Amino acid sequence: MDRVALRGLRARGHHGVFPGEREEGQTFVVDVELGLDTRAAAAGDDLAETVHYGVVAEEVTAVLEGEPVDLIETLAQRIADACLAHRAVREVEVVVHKPEAPITVPFDDVTITIKRSRA
């Protein structure tokens, strides 16, 4: 399985369980790693035989900026679903970073990592 990775996609979203998170919003950062077979695309030099990572980046950003959810677990699943909607993508790993999480102690980041594949 070949890999196409997008790292550090950023967008402002209004996700979280606290009212302030929903009202003010915060920056979320996402990494996605797509698993696919790129041999046909390479052999024919054909974008239609692979995944257009620019489109994936736009779709991930749209999920981040879209309908608010309480949990970053839900957000990660929605991103995975969007990635797996692309015909060439067989599996995906999604990491959602929430560096502005409402935590009362010093921290660098909060993340969730999920792996999903086609059934």
- The side-by-side arrangement of strands in the sheet containing 91-97 is 2-13, 26-36, 91-97, 111-117
| Catalytic residue chosen out of the listed positions 72, 81, 98, 101 | 98
Per-residue confidence (pLDDT) for residue 108, from 0 to 100: 97
CA distance 74 to 81: 11
Residue 114: beta bridge partners? 94
pLDDT digits (tens, 9 = 90+) for 58-108: 999 999 999 999 999 999 999 999 999 999 999 999 999 999 999 999 999
Per-residue confidence (pLDDT) for residue 51, from 0 to 100: 97
> In the numeric block, which tokens belong to residue 105?
């102690």
Name all domains of the chain by residue range, CATH numbers in brackets.
Answer: 2-117 (3.30.1130.10)
| Alpha-carbon 42 to chain mean position | 25
Active site residue 115: no
Predicted confidence (pLDDT) at residue 15 exceeds the cutoff of 90: yes
Per-residue confidence (pLDDT) for residue 119, from 0 to 100: 75
Average pLDDT value over all residues in the chain: 97
> In the numeric block, which tokens belong to residue 108?
């660098």
